[in-house]
Amino acid sequence: METPVRSDAELLRVNRGFYEALWAQARLVDPERFNTWPLLRELAAASPRRLEVAPGLRPRLPLDGTCFVDLSHAALRQLRARGAKATHGMIGALPCGDAQFDLVCAFDILEHVADDEGALNELARVAAPGATLLLSVPLHADAWTAFDEFVGHCRRYEPGAIETKLAAHGFALERSAIYGMQPKSSRLLDLGQWFLTHRRERAMWWYNHVFMPLGLRFQKPLQWRDGLPEVAGVDEVLLVCRRIA
């Protein structure tokens, strides 16, 4: 399926509508429950200045001491209720100073914005020299499905292209791991999309109360590899980068 061309306004409308409704019915999941926690616990301990962009109610960094920026007011309310420093904003215009953070995380967000160059520029702007960036993106344009469009994606990335984009913004890719919880079955995705379209409230209840807990339970430990090796057939990757310029 061909990747559609989508405007900033359309992407904002789709993402705001989908995720505001999702987070309004969800509870915050503690960072310790994700398979990213062993790495992020270690990085956070060495990085007192931390930023996570668009965590929703699935933050990966410790709530205490991290600055969170999100578009969803429903997510911000719950983050603040747990004592987190959470600010309304978007990845293309972060409400943060230059070179302010030693650790920056942006999981599952770059594919949602039309101007990914501007988003990467903002991540580079707020990252201090030597800072660590964790970024996750979906791969392979030819793997595009109607579900990508439904959840507000703008694109999937070719492996070489994302590495080139990162380098152009002063980030050196150090290691990567296969990432994500999306089911491999296209039939399950089609069924999920149908329910989200026609029975949204029920579908989101099942996602938050059944499928998300099952996904957490059956997560596999991340297997880290230097650079970005062969990723044929891989749906999504998590990238660990270093700010070098």
Predicted confidence at residue 20, as pLDDT, reads: 82
CA dist 149 and 184 (Å) reads 17
Instruction: Tell me if 209 is assigned to some domain.
Output: no
Confidence of residue 11 (pLDDT cuts 50, 70, 90): confident
Residue 205 lies in a domain: no
Higher pLDDT, 26 or 14: 26
* Residue 33 counted as domain residue: yes
* CA atoms of 103 and 34, how far apart (whole Å): 18
Number of domains in the chain: 1
Token pair for residue 176? 């990567």
* Domain assignment present for 203: no
Q: Identify whether 215 is part of a domain.
A: no
**CATH number, domain with residue 14:** 3.40.50.150
From residue 205, how far is each of 27, 33, 70, 148, 200 by CA, in Å?
A: 11, 20, 22, 20, 9
Question: For residue 59, is pLDDT > 60?
Answer: yes
Query: Given this model, what pLDDT does residue 44 score?
Result: 97
In a domain, 82, yes or no: yes
Q: Which domain holds residue 231?
A: 8-184+220-243
Decide: 105 and 52 in contact? Cβ < 8 Å.
yes
Give the mean pLDDT of the chain: 87
- Three-class DSSP category at 135: strand
Q: What pLDDT does 5 receive? A: 63
Q: 54 vs 23, 88, 110, 183, 206, CA distance in Å?
A: 12, 10, 10, 22, 22
pLDDT at 148: 81
pLDDT value, residue 199? 60
Of all residues in the chain, the percent with pLDDT exceeding 70 is 84
Each residue of 58-88: b (16+ CB within 10 Å) or e? bbbbbbeebbbbbbbebbbebbeeeebebee
Do the domain assignments include residue 200? no
Question: For the residues 29-41, what does the mean pLDDT come to?
Answer: 96
Contacts 24+ apart (CB under 8 A), 218-222: 219/34, 219/35, 219/181, 220/35, 221/35, 221/38, 222/35, 222/36, 222/38, 222/39, 222/177, 222/178, 222/179
pLDDT at 80 over 90: yes
Amino acid at 198: H
> Residue 127: pLDDT band by 50, 70, 90 thresholds?
very high
Residues 180-224 pLDDT 10s: 755 555 565 555 555 566 566 666 666 666 667 777 787 889 999
pLDDT for 150 equals 73
pLDDT computed for residue 182 by the predictor = 54
At residue 151, the pLDDT reads 75
Q: Does a structural domain hold residue 213?
A: no
pLDDT for 60 equals 97
- Please give the residue that has the higher pLDDT: either 171 or 207: 171
